[in-house]
Amino acid sequence: MPLYEHVFLARQDVSAQQVEKLMETFQSIIKDNGGSIGKTEYWGLKNLAYRIKKKRKAHYALMNIDAPHEAVAEMERQMRIESDVIRFLTLRVDELDEAPSAMMKRHDRDDRRGPRRDRDGRDGGRDGRDGGRGGDRAPVEKPVVAKEPAKAEAEEAKEPAKAEAEEAKEPAKAEAEEAKEPAKAEAEEAKAADKTDAEPDEDKS
């Protein structure tokens, strides 16, 4: 019988247990139509290269199938009806590889390595919740500037300068008044003299 490698993607909203149930449902369809299932793998929830039906992530699952074409066609028909399946791909191959796939090897390697650590030795992933470049940073407290004391000091510093300016104005004002007195007296005398000179002329006329 033909050999197939089949991968389907389930919605990110479903749980891993629901994905396992979907795999069991599709396996029963193959078996009921005269086929058999070899290796099955659940790759977990992964990011999509592009959005599919407005979803950014999906559960990946792999099945090796040894079945007639009619059985595979019926399984794919049921997948199109199933709302939890957003995409699937079936490839015909010459032989089935029963060894763990590259995706499972990578998953096992990541599990053995454990969580990534930054240079400071702190746990931190891409989201940076536990530290690292993207981690939460403690808010920097800004120094509180005491504006009122500074304003009061500035006012106190202005008072002596203001008093000195007032004191400097007083002599200048007095000198100006003294300088005006002789000029005022001369003007009064000149006015009186003009008045005296004008009186005989009036008598003659």
**pLDDT higher than threshold 70 for residue 135:** no
Q: What is the pLDDT of residue 128?
A: 46
Give the HSE-up count for residue 144: Cα atoms under 13 Å, Cβ half-sphere.
3
Q: Mean of the per-residue pLDDT values for the chain? A: 77
Q: Which of 27, 32, 31 is nearest to 6 (CA)?
A: 27
Q: How far apart are CA 5 and CA 48, in angstroms?
A: 20
* Rounded alpha-carbon distances, angstroms, from residue 12 to 16, 26, 63: 9, 19, 19
H-only helix segments in 99-146: 102-113
Domains defined along the chain, listed by start: 3-113 (3.30.70.60)
Which residue is associated with the tokens 């891409």? 126
Q: How far apart are CA 172 and CA 78, in angstroms?
A: 109
Q: Which of 6, 138, 141 is nearest to 74 (CA)?
A: 6
Q: Which of 54, 53, 46 is nearest to 86 (CA)?
A: 53
Low-confidence winner among 82-86, 87-91, 132-136, 178-182 (lowest mean pLDDT): 132-136
State the DSSP H helix or E strand holding residue 37, giving kind and residue range, or none if neither: strand 36-52
Write out pLDDT tens, residues 15-59: 999 999 999 999 999 999 999 999 999 999 999 999 998 999 999
Q: What is the pTM of this model?
A: 0.51
Q: How far apart are CA 67 and CA 160, in angstroms?
A: 104
Q: Which residues contact 61 (CB under 8 A, 6 or more apart)?
A: 7, 8, 9, 10, 19, 22, 23, 40, 41, 42, 43
Q: How far apart are CA 115 and CA 80, in angstroms?
A: 37
**pLDDT higher than threshold 70 for residue 110:** no
- Rounded percentage of the chain residues whose pLDDT exceeds 90: 44
Give the three-state DSSP class for 174.
helix
Write out pLDDT tens, residues 144-187: 555 555 666 667 767 766 777 777 677 667 777 777 777 777 77
**pLDDT higher than threshold 70 for residue 138:** no
